[in-house]
């Protein structure tokens, strides 16, 4: 390889590495032990919903890519199926995506969902939670927040099918401590 090609390869590596670092820094996930950043967004019924509305409860804050897609529908159905178990454990489910309130309203009606879905069309909360995917939609991440607003568990790259069971198990274990 001649000197020009070597310099081009080195320049490309430096640029790629630098871009990777910038992307990682911009998308840092809140960590276990940190206080949960507040969320205040419109819900499927058009009303504003905030994390602070649920202080004193456990909160399952889950980010998902898109309404009415297969994986997101499975995940939502499973949370809905288990909703009474969450309620017995003093927990609420809150879903967040970059879809609009109208899209959430249609999704909830079509899929018989009764928990809150919040519309982050500006992508600010999704980004604040380190969950903005490269394609501009939310990455499938979940944060379990205790009644004092502390993050106690984080799941990234969630697989929709068994996720509700994972969250229930963690919630049960944490409540027994």
**CA neighbor of 121 nearest in space, from 67, 77, 158:** 67
Report helix, strand or coil for 24.
Answer: helix
* End-to-end Cα spacing for the chain: 61
For residue 67, how many other CB atoms are within 10 A of its CB? 26
**CA neighbor of 136 nearest in space, from 126, 145, 150:** 126
Report helix, strand or coil for 31.
Answer: coil
Residue 117 tokens, joined: 């879905």
Selecting among 36, 51, 59, 72, the annotated active-site residue is 72
What angle (nearest 5°) sits at the alpha carbon of residue 82, between those of residues 123 and 120?
A: 10
The answer to whether 91 and 101 are in contact (CB under 8 A) is no
Is 108 tagged catalytic? no
Active site residues: 72
């Amino acid at each position: 390889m001649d000197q020009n090609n070597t310099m081009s390869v080195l320049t490309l590596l430096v640029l790629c590495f630098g871009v990777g670092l910038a992307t990682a820094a911009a998308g840092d996930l809140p960590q276990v032990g940190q206080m949960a950043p507040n969320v205040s967004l419109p819900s499927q019924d058009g009303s504003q919903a905030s994390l602070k509305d649920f202080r004193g409860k456990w909160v399952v804050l889950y980010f998902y890519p898109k309404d009415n897609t297969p994986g997101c529908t499975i995940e939502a159905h499973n949370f809905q199926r288990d909703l009474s178990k969450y309620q017995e454990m003093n927990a609420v489910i809150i879903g967040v995506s970059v879809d609009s309130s109208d899209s959430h309203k249609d999704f909830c009606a079509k899929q018989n969902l009764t928990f809150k879905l919040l519309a982050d069309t500006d992508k600010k909360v999704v980004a604040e939670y380190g969950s903005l995917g490269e394609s501009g939609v939310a990455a499938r991440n979940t944060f379990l927040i205790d009644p004092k607003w502390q993050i106690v568990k984080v799941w990234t790259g969630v697989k929709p099918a068994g996720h509700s069971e994972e969250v229930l198990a963690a919630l049960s274990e944490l409540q027994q401590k």
